[in-house]
């Protein structure tokens, strides 16, 4: 449904001075203040910011779906010249789904579990164009093929739960494209997906945007993705747009202190935990009802000037000479933007000591029976296959891989939550592979601890912080009396750089980063020697990630802890790890020092993984390798090499060896291991995936 009267040279979407508040019984909570932006036809606009900055609220306001409590207080949202803020329900309904469509963060939750995919897709043209049912289903089939899903006929008649996460997201995209909307809103469309799947989705979105000439509003917290997808961006902080402009200009010539701080807190290639540590943004994100007067970023800003920044509301200042570049900062002309970042004192490298943990041929199989009553067949899920490695004192070993690769199973076996099927784990010269945690002695338990992924769920909500740490001390038999333990608890709070007063606080009063610090304090309560950190920062905002990562590194330096850092985020892995182990479908496909793994020769999977990670640096040139298809199920792995179904180098192995035989572990220079059939000559021809262009 294209509006022929619309002049294409004017913006498709024009938001002016938009303010949105949520009304609770207690008070009015302003969520978005004075927000303006415009999206031209065919343009893609990125909205970046940390959680709670109001970026999703803006998106939902465009669709006028703010719920019962949310209300647009002032300002206008013009779509093709029509004001959406004063539109009636019926009129809105004709725009939703037909001219403005949305793609959501969690594909599984956004699809109706009880309706067939075809019915959910066909509904859109049936509502908006009054299309006949058969035609609508035909169109749905065609669009499914357009979003590059295999076997469209099967998918039409499938239910959402029968598809993988990546396929579901493609369906959500297909649904949004069913009526060729003029504007597409994407709310963190790839956050719930694995990086290699994300790369496929991002490519698809970009191609479709060009193909249909759709404008996009792309919401993300990932600056790298924004660089990949968008033409323009708008950085938001605490309900306000702080900087807006062309993506390249904002990335290279940022003119707002928050944008600058954000870039300095994310690990870009070249950052290093010892010589170029990340700079975390000090302080915390202000709560919506506790915003400071004047500039919201003032209290955390390095350039803060009393009497100026906290005196009056800051308007947007245009940056002359640039393409619609504007910043919300009084001092932007005074700040020397080219000044190099004041480096924190570089820290000495932690000396690597003796071997503390050694795994040999560790295997963990699960048997899964399908169907009850003995009639079902038992299947074996090989979660870990012949895992062998050692970790030394003071070392950071990163374990990298996508969901389902067996990295969490490995952690469970090490912790004793599961016992190994075969193989051995030597922890301080003691075999623990078949000792479940209940039978381990307190020493062993307290010396191997874990920091969990989601700090929001791992603290007991009804126990104060101090009590939870003391409880850990009691379990680890630390301290002789309650007083001693209390004193030790306060020391632990110091260790994780939390104020001592936090001992009395309840978990709900803490922010995500603070909760994760409590989690770390608890892990170190018994003087842990080996700490397994399972994605410790992936649930946190970027500005907090840097601080928590730094903290972990500092504690490691002090205590000579061995850190097993499980992550899917290669940027952070490159930043902090000494050695890297890449896992795929339960196998270690590559292992070596960080430099070895991040430079060619790569294992083909590592190569794809590296190329899939978006990097927020305009100077980095990345080779795009998009893997076809999904990760095979661990229940039914392919024969031969586990990666052969998606490998782009497969044809270079003579005799179809990849299909039949599991590749041996190939030792390259300096202890670098690769599990691949490719010959040394072929491996030597590999080019680096990431190149930093000369300045």
Partner 1 sequence: MLKFVARRLGVMVLTALALTFVVFYLTNLPPNLEKLARTEGSVRMTDQAVASWIENNGHGGSVFGRYAQWLGVAPGWVLTDDKGVTRGRCIRAGTDPAAASSYCGVLQGEWGFSTVFKKPVLESVLQKLGSTGWLMLWVMIVMVPTSLLMGVLSGMREGSRTDRGLSIIAIATTATPEYVSGVILVAVFASVTAGVSPILHEWGWISTKTLFLGTATSAMDNITFWNFALPVLTIALYGIGYIARMTRASMTEVMVQQYIRTARLKGVRFRDVVMRHALRNALIAPFTVIMLQFPWLLNGVVITEALFNYKGFGWTLVQAAGNNDIDLLLGCSVVAVLVVLVTQLISDIGYVFLNPRIRLA
Q: Where on the chain is the footprint of partner 1 (CB under 8 A)?
A: 63, 65, 68, 93-98, 101-102, 104, 106, 109-115, 123-124, 127-128, 159, 161, 172, 175, 370-373, 375-376
| C-alpha to C-alpha distance for 452 and 237, rounded to whole angstroms | 28
Would you call 455 helix, strand, or coil by DSSP? coil
Nearer to partner 1, 175 or 432 (CB): 175
Nearer to partner 1, 372 or 670 (CB): 372
- Give the neighbor-by-neighbor strand order of the sheet with 355-369: 378-392, 355-369, 422-427, 430-431
DSSP 8-class letter at 694: P
Nearer to partner 1, 110 or 409 (CB): 110
The least CB distance from residue 125 to partner 1, in Å, is: 11
Among 693, 613, 694, which residue's Cα sits nearest to residue 228? 613
Nearer to partner 1, 270 or 376 (CB): 376
| C-alpha to C-alpha distance for 248 and 594, rounded to whole angstroms | 30
- Match 């402009």 to its residue by tokens: 245
Nearer to partner 1, 178 or 301 (CB): 178
| C-alpha to C-alpha distance for 389 and 414, rounded to whole angstroms | 13
Among 613, 583, 582, which residue's Cα sits nearest to residue 596? 582
| C-alpha to C-alpha distance for 152 and 158, rounded to whole angstroms | 10
| C-alpha to C-alpha distance for 102 and 184, rounded to whole angstroms | 6
| C-alpha to C-alpha distance for 296 and 589, rounded to whole angstroms | 47
The radius of gyration of the chain from alpha carbons, rounded to an integer in Å, stands at 27
Would you call 679 helix, strand, or coil by DSSP? coil
Nearer to partner 1, 115 or 380 (CB): 115
Nearer to partner 1, 137 or 502 (CB): 137
The least CB distance from residue 159 to partner 1, in Å, is: 4
The least CB distance from residue 288 to partner 1, in Å, is: 21
| C-alpha to C-alpha distance for 222 and 188, rounded to whole angstroms | 9
| C-alpha to C-alpha distance for 121 and 638, rounded to whole angstroms | 32
Nearer to partner 1, 94 or 508 (CB): 94
Nearer to partner 1, 125 or 224 (CB): 125
- Match 């791992």 to its residue by tokens: 458
The least CB distance from residue 121 to partner 1, in Å, is: 10
**Contact at 8 Å (CB) between 593 and 600?**
no
| C-alpha to C-alpha distance for 612 and 628, rounded to whole angstroms | 12
| C-alpha to C-alpha distance for 605 and 590, rounded to whole angstroms | 9
Q: Residue 486, CB half-sphere, CA atoms under 13 Å: how many? A: 6
**Contact at 8 Å (CB) between 71 and 51?**
no
Nearer to partner 1, 126 or 548 (CB): 126
């Amino acid at each position: 449904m294209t509006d022929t009267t619309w002049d294409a040279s004017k913006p498709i979407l024009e938001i002016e001075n938009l303010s949105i508040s949520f009304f609770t019984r207690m008070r009015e909570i302003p969520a978005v203040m004075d927000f303006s932006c415009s999206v031209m036809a065919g343009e893609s606009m990125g909205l970046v910011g940390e959680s709670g900055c109001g970026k999703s609220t803006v998106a939902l306001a465009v669709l006028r779906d703010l719920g019962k409590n949310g209300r647009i207080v002032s300002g206008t949202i013009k779509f093709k010249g029509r004001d959406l803020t004063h539109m009636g329900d019926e009129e809105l309904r004709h725009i939703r789904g037909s001219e403005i469509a949305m793609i959501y963060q969690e594909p599984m939750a956004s699809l109706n579990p009880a309706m067939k995919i075809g019915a959910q897709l066909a509904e859109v043209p049936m509502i908006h164009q009054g299309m006949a049912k058969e035609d609508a289903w035909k169109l749905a089939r065609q669009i499914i093929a357009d979003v590059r899903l295999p076997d469209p006929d099967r998918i039409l008649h499938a239910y959402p739960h029968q598809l993988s996460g990546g396929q579901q997201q493609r369906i959500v995209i297909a649904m949004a494209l069913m009526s060729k909307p003029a504007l597409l809103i994407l709310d963190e469309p790839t956050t719930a997906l694995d990086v290699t799947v994300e790369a496929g989705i991002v490519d698809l979105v970009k191609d479709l945007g060009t193909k249909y000439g759709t404008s996009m509003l792309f919401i993300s917290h990932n600056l790298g993705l924004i660089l990949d997808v968008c033409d323009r961006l708008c950085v938001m902080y605490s309900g306000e747009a702080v900087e807006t402009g062309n993506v390249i200009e904002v990335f290279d010539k940022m003119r707002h202190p928050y944008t600058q701080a954000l870039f300095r807190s994310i690990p870009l290639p070249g950052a290093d935990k010892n010589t170029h540590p990340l700079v975390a943004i000090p302080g915390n994100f202000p709560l919506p009802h506790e915003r400071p007067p004047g500039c919201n970023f003032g209290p955390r800003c390095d350039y803060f000037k009393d009497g100026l920044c906290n005196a009056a509301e800051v308007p947007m200042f245009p940056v002359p000479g640039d393409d619609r570049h504007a910043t919300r900062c009084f001092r932007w002309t005074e700040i020397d933007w080219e000044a190099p970042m004041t480096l924190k004192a570089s820290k000495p490298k932690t000396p690597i000591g003796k071997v503390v943990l050694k795994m040999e041929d560790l295997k963990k199989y699960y048997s899964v029976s399908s169907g009850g009553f003995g009639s079902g067949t038992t299947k074996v899920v090989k979660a870990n296959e012949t895992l062998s490695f050692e970790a030394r004192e003071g070392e950071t070993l990163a374990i990298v891989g996508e969901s389902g690769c067996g990295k969490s199973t490995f952690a469970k076996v090490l912790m004793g939550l599961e016992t190994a099927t075969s193989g051995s784990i030597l922890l301080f010269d003691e075999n623990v592979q078949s000792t479940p945690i209940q039978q381990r002695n307190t020493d062993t338990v307290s010396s191997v601890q874990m920091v969990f992924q989601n700090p929001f769920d791992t603290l007991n909500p009804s126990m104060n912080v101090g009590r939870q740490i003391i409880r850990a001390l009691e379990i680890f038999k630390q301290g002789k009396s309650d007083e001693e333990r209390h004193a030790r608890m306060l020391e632990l709070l110091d260790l994780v750089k939390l104020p001592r007063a936090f001992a009395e606080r309840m978990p709900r009063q803490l922010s995500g980063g603070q909760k994760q610090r409590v989690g770390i304090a608890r892990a170190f309560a018994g003087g842990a020697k080996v700490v397994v950190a399972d994605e410790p920062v992936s649930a946190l905002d970027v500005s907090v990630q840097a601080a928590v990562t730094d903290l972990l590194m500092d504690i490691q330096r002090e205590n000579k802890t061995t850190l097993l850092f499980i992550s899917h985020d290669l940027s952070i892995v490159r930043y902090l790890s000494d050695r890297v182990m890449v896992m795929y479908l339960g196998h270690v496909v590559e292992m070596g020092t960080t430099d070895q793994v991040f430079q060619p020769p790569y294992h083909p999977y590592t190569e794809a993984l590296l190329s899939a990670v978006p990097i927020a640096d305009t100077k980095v040139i990345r080779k795009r390798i998009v893997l076809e298809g999904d990760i095979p199920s661990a229940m039914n792995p392919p024969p031969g090499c586990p990666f052969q179904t998606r490998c782009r180098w497969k044809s270079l192995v003579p005799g179809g060896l990849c299909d039949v035989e599991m590749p041996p572990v190939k030792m390259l220079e300096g202890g670098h291991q690769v599990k691949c059939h490719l010959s040394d000559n072929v491996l030597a021809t590999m080019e680096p995936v990431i190149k930093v262009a000369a300045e």
